[in-house]
Structure 1
Amino acid sequence: MTIDGIAAGGDGVGRVDGMAVFVPRTAPGDVAQVAYAVHARHGRGRMLQLLEASPQRVAPRCHHYDTDRCGGCQLQHLDTATQRRARQQIVQDTLRRVGRREIALPPITADLEWHYRGRLTLALRRKGSGWIGGLHPHDDAQRVFALETCEIAHPLLVETWHTVRSLITDRRLPLPDGDALRMSLRLEEETAATPDAPRHIVIVVQGGAVWPAREAWTARLHELAPQVRGVWWEREDGRREGQADNTVADPVAAESLPDASEALAFAQVNARVADALRAHVFAAVMQFDPRRVVDGYAGTGLLTEQLAREGRDVVAVEADTVGARHATERLQAAGADVARRARVVCDLMEQALPQLTAAAHTPDVVVLNPPRRGVDARVTAWLEDAVMREARGVVYVSCDPATLARDLSRLPSWDIVSVQCFDMFPQTAHVETVCVLQRSEGREGEAA
């Protein structure tokens, strides 16, 4: 089989009698012997032997990629240019097939290729009297292999994991009960005022109902790894407990540390590309010169604050109570004028819709930054409704081209102004996309 391209998800794609066959870890131009099984209208295969290597193929940098078939990366076997073009083409092809929107190959903003991740999330499985911690093979979601290194994670995260790994085998300091846990290590970038300033790590342990050794375990970790600022435990029932490190030079009270959902949900994985994305979104909103903006799925309110400082009236909608609370606190801390111009609605976007057009205050621009599942159909119906006829722009930030394309198919009254990709996750098939829409000429008020 000759591999023709890369599909969403990162698999190579070849054809047998016209049927697409998806083969992991193959490159465009590879000629390979493949075993495959037919599933409905396509096939799924595995490479048995590489007969002719593509010139776009490179040796993976991380030994886990081949040795353990690590599922954390999907494209380490491709050179940089091929990876980036693949992500651009995934967006272009998906918008055409699913969204029925023809666009040129979108530009892509990129930065670091390695050591860019500010968060490392691992699966922990009980093994005998100790634990094994690592990631899943791409073809076996039930198995966990022991992680030694991660070439896309910041080196301080890997260094901290080595210390944690030595601690989770200590029988005197057991982890929470149960046979399976999750652990997230988050780099606190905001603690680094200068490039040479010390950085800190926050650790979140998820799972289990009891953890008698939590305080002793945390204290020992602080001794071994002074870069760890806090350890947080989220029980299986959702309750959270935290402990700050009071030995760091600038101690932080426990109540001011992010709790578990904040640490897991709102930390951007790639800080430098995230900064570029935020700047692009802000500029995209401002190009419409709006008076009123709805910031949907607003997180902790970074964009809301920025727009309010520019004199725009903003309604931030965030369903997560932690995110909404942080957004409210951010606006209050920004001063009375900013707080007056912005308000936070803690609700699902689809549930908050009646509030967003009340009292004839229709927004000029709507920002959507939904999770991977995209927006609810009620949100796209709202944007098509006559009540929104005065709205001029939509800025949609997407982490999944398929749901972006689906949602665009539900917005026939809106034209694409621009599509920009952001290479937030090098070595993987994931891509962030910002799609800017404007009302189609002659279609204002015609939507049902």
Structure 2
Amino acid sequence: MSRRPGRQDQHRNANRGRRERAALPEHTGVLTIDGFAAGGEGVGRMDGMAVFVPRTAPGDIAQVAYTRHARHGRGRVLQLLQRSEQRVDARCAHYEDDRCGACQLQHVDGPAQRLARQHMVQETLRRVGRREVSLPPITADLEWHYRGRLTLVLLRRSGGWIGGLHPHDDARRVFALEQCEIAHPLLVETWHALRPLLADRTMGMPNADALRLGLRLDSETGVVHSGAASDLKVTVVLQGGSVWEDRESWSAALLRRAPQVRAVWWEAADGTRDAALEDGAAPEAGEALAFAQVNARVADALREHVYAAVTQFAPTRVVDGYAGTGLLTERLAVAGHEVIAVEADAVGARHAEARLRAAGEQVAGRGEVVCDLMEQAIPRLSSPGRVPDVVVLNPPRRGVDARVTAWLEDDTMQTVRGLVYVSCDPATLARDLSRMPSWDIVSVHCFDMFPQTAHVETVCVLQRSQGREAA
């Protein structure tokens, strides 16, 4: 349900790690990998110091080169001496040959991956959030070809454009993408149809040296995973530059080459958007990138879980924080609950409003959309007669602002019975829970939205502490 973050933090971390390795001397040694760190790296101990090594698995014994930092070490495999029982051969050639950074765990079998993600959530809640929970259950589905969205980097070169992804240890480089085993095949097919246009010197691109290309899977029925193959479409979004003289001819050429493409959008560096459409039903570019679900099948299961979690508290009034395009808001309003949706993105807020208008008499005025940051909307949510029974938080990777957790801790919010927090980052979830001592965890459930990676979606349901109520 949450919008996935970009790769800027990953790029900064990779660049910082590379600079640190260049500045610090390397040591060598034999390391036994004991477990996974939160980012998917294997971790073992060398002379009592934790050493983090990418592309390793618990049970591996490897000769590694590592650099010492203040409290830990970072290493790379020189030679694998003993293979873990969890280790498998990576399915994608880019994973090994190009050190592709899109996946972190292709070298580990599926059951071990899922168990690792469960442990990451449990351990992070314990270590950062000071919350002890049992190993959370995990809902999983497809392990391959599940991604309904593919985002690539395009770089201008003397012979044309190169498009692909970054190596996990070098954010400055981009390798040419041939295949992506976690992306839906139709997205990869569209990428192959698009590549000749990047090399065609008669087809000008936007005036930038680097662009971002987004491919999103659509369905004309609006249901991606259950539609027939012929029903699936692709929306293409190109981002960057300020001038694109050949936009119309380039877009028309792509539409001819790839009949599955329903729309081509260009979003300039200043945020303005323009489109060449195959039909009049294409969504706005902002929705195409910000609100498209990566894994539609698991996203459906997550939405059902969240709806059940909210309604178990039998609420009269719900705040749907970080509401996106309003799917949950609409469903709750149709079911008879009063809902205030808060969404800072104008595109998302407009779509939420449109959903409520389309529902008409079914919602009977029970739904309201506030286009604002959650922390800025607090005064409107706390006014007399508007305090909710249940709050849903579905923030981006950075988690919620401290003012939101302070609001939930405030004495004026004593009537709030339930809190449903949807998280795409266990670390920020744990941090935010540490700021809410008045709330007890009812349940934690993981959703395997991103197989082959270290990322996991988590739904944490909380209720007001009985001790706080008694006080």
Fold match by TM threshold 0.5: yes
Q: Which amino acid aligns with 2:269?
A: E
Determine whether 1:67 maps to 2:97: yes
TM-score (norm 1): 0.96
| Cα contact 2:339–2:367 (8 A) shared by 1 | yes
- Percent identical among aligned pairs is 71
User: Counterpart of 2:420 in 1: which secondary structure?
Assistant: strand
> Residue 310 of structure 1: which of 335, 346, 352 is its match?
335
Distance 1:195 1:242 in 2: 26
Please, what TM-score do these two structures have when normalized by structure 2? 0.92
- On the 8 A contact 1:125/1:133 being kept in 2, the answer is yes
- Find out whether 1:201 has 2:234 as its counterpart: yes
Contact kept, 8 Å, 2:252 with 2:276, in 1: the verdict is no
Matches of 2:53 and 2:334, distance apart in 1: 50
Q: CA deviation at 1:337?
A: 4.1
Letter in 1 for 2:151: T
Are residues 1:216 and 2:241 paired? no
SS at match of 1:360: coil
Where do residues 31-70 of structure 1 align in structure 2 (5 Å cutoff)? 31-70=61-100
Alignment deviations for residues 59-83 of structure 1 (CA, whole Å, 9 cap, x no partner)? 0000000000000000000001110
Structure 2 matches for 1:77-92, cutoff 5 A? 77-92=107-122
Q: 2:128 aligns with which of 98, 123, 127?
A: 98
What are the within-5 Å matches in structure 2 for residues 172-251 of structure 1? 172-189=202-219, 190=222, 194-245=227-278
Is contact 2:92–2:181 with CA below 8 Å preserved after alignment?
yes
Task: Provide the C-alpha distance between the structure 2 equivalents of 1:30 and 1:356, rounded to a whole number of angstroms.
Answer: 52
Classify the secondary structure of the residue corresponding to 2:199: coil
1:397·1:434 contact (CA, 8 Å) conserved in 2?
yes
Taking the aligned partners of 2:122 and 2:236, their CA distance within structure 1 comes to: 38
Is the 8 Å Cα contact of residues 63 and 78 (structure 2) preserved in structure 1? yes
Secondary structure of residue in 1 paired with 2:433: helix
Is the aligned partner of 1:115 residue 2:145?
Answer: yes
The answer to which of 384-393 and 334-343 deviates more is 334-343
The match for 2:6 is none
State the shift of 1:196 in Å: 4.3
What aligned pairs does 1:17-416 form with structure 2 within 5 A after superposition? Answer: 17-189=47-219, 190=222, 194-245=227-278, 252-253=279-280, 256-338=281-363, 340-416=365-441
Could you list the structure 1 runs, at least 4 aligned residues long, displaced by more than 2 angstroms after superposition: 191-198
Residue aligned with 1:171, SS: coil
**Unpaired runs of 5+ in structure 1?**
246-251
Q: Does 1:417 align with 2:442?
A: yes
CA distance in 1, matches of 2:470, 2:400: 22
The offset of 1:260, in angstroms, is 1.9
Which whole-Å CA distance do the structure 1 matches of 2:227 and 2:432 have between them?
Answer: 41
Asked which structure has the greater RCO (Cα within 8 Å, sep 6+), the reply is 2
Among candidates 440, 443, 448, match of residue 468 of structure 2? 443
User: Number of aligned pairs?
Assistant: 438
| CA shift for structure 1 position 218 | 0.4
Q: CA deviation at 1:442?
A: 2.5
Larger deviation: 202-211 or 335-344? 335-344
* 1:38/1:445 CA distance change after superposition, 3 Å: farther
- Counterpart-to-counterpart distance in 1, 2:200 and 2:470: 67
The secondary structure found in structure 2 opposite 1:202 is: strand
1:235-282: CA deviations, max 9, x gaps?
Answer: 01111111101xxxxxx32xx422221111100000000000000000
2:237 partner amino acid: V
Q: Are 1:3 and 2:36 matched, yes or no?
A: no
1:336 CA displacement: 2.8
Question: 1:16: which partner in 2?
Answer: 46
Q: Quote the Cα distance in structure 2 between the aligned partners of 1:269 and 1:199.
A: 15
